[in-house]
Amino acid sequence: MASIFTRIVNGEIPSYKVAEDDRFYAFLDINPVQPGHTLVIPKQEVDYIFDLDNDTYAGLTLFAKKVAEAIKAAVTCRKVGMAVIGLEVPHAHIHLVPMQAEKDMDFARHAELPASEMTAIAEAIAGQFAKL
Ligand code: AMP
């Protein structure tokens, strides 16, 4: 069965998309640890990030770098943190989290933001991404 992230890429499940190209897709985490928390995935469905072929792995990290630049421009933060967990969804993904402090990378502390706020954040990041 297709992963939930493959279903997002295929448009079967909605997402707050911030960026996409032919191989990669970025969208807001539905339960963000900070506003602007973004997931970056390969469209190819592979569970464990370190099982990706080298070209896809390198492409994913370069795409995430560009998304991080867009997040930094769109969301007030000192830096954008990067993490890989992957215990919940079996489709490789990188977490990008705008940070003011180290505690902002606490993945045990998820929140839920109103849809209007999620939409506004996604549009702001997408707008910055389009300028890069
Ligand atoms: P993990 O696999 O442990 O890295 O965590 C998966 C992440 O995906 C969690 O932060 C979830 O909040 C997030 N997530 C799960 N389902 C969705 C979805 N439909 N849209 C956006 N984010 C999701």
Using CB distances shorter than 6 Å, the residues near ligand 1 are 4, 13, 15, 29-31, 39, 85-89
Cα 99 from Cα 19, distance rounded (Å) = 20
Residue 126 pLDDT > 90: yes
The predicted structure's pLDDT at residue 119: 98
Ligand 1 atom closest to residue 84's alpha carbon, by position in its atom list: 4
Point out the residues that are catalytic.
93
The predicted structure's pLDDT at residue 110: 87
Q: Is the pTM of this model over 0.85?
A: yes
Q: pLDDT tens digit string along 54-110?
A: 999 999 999 999 999 999 999 999 999 999 999 999 999 999 999 999 999 999 988
The domains located in the chain, with CATH, are: 4-131 (3.30.428.10)
The predicted structure's pLDDT at residue 122: 98
Residue (of 26, 21, 6) closest to 122 by Cα position: 26
Compute the mean pLDDT over every residue in the chain, rounded to the nearest whole number.
97
Length of the chain: 132
The predicted structure's pLDDT at residue 1: 87
